Chain A
């Protein structure tokens, strides 16, 4: 799928419309990024994109734009109206090419220290 694309800002528009390609066409059929990204793995863009990068599709650029502030996989998926599985694959590409940094979530096997619980409780009480 090496189709011509218009630069920059037009990309988002057709994404928000009804899908015109089946979702996994965007990933060239790849579905294998599940182990790497949880729904709440957080991503942030660390290198800005110009839109002219080789190998980046409009969806990659949209993710890079959304992640100028830290966002979870679930949020990216919701904002782009794409299944989380697609976002995982696309995010994997961006990570590999050095455009994003990711933070894995707190895992249940990590023993949360007292400070973490304290911070979360204080944060909730202050809401």
Chain B
């Protein structure tokens, strides 16, 4: 074993971000706009764990579900790789989110003002989980323009949650959203909270 094994190379660390929101709101479009690679699709096969017991005798009764997620990548120097996952839009796949959200630095909730209610579940989810998020209102052609404060009010968001307009098709716009998200996550990191309370 001594020969042929090279030194352990220094590997980039992955940072996970999520793009959530209702079906058809432009999650994959946004992932594709900012990703340096063509968005890829991965399938996660999930076993129904609600039964609680995981012994072999129950194998024949286990049900599995496959969910597909689109994702993209942004390489940050040689130290970090940012991965952007579009969350599966269907509500019945929520149980996968915990797995997806685990370790995520933050989330973008994409909203469409014509169907604002579609993003309620995502907002609820990240609020409950304590994942830092921003709400990006995707400006579809012909969608009613609301004041961002109105959107904030309609979503009953805390004053600290950033709400911004975006065009999910545009790379620059997606970039801005991600920058706001990272800034927001930074301000909310546990160390920052400590700094504030220590003052």
Contacts and interface: CB of A to CB of B under 8 A. Distances in A.
Interface of A: 23, 31, 38-42, 44, 46-47, 70, 72, 74-75, 77-79, 82-86, 98, 101-103, 105-108, 111-114, 116-117, 119-121, 123-125, 127
B139 interface: no
B42 A46 contact: no
A124 B181 CA distance: 11
Given A40-B16, A42-B81, A124-B175, A112 B105 contact: yes
B190 A124 contact: no
A111 B189 contact: yes
Instruction: Name which of A46, A98, A114 has the most chain B CB atoms within 10 A of its CB.
Output: A46
B164 to A, nearest CB: 15
Contacts of A125: 175, 179
B81 A111 contact: no
B196 interface: no
Interface stretch (B5-13, B19-27, B115-123, B151-159): B5-13
Contacts of B83: 39-40, 72, 74
Contact of B8 (A75, A101, A116): A101
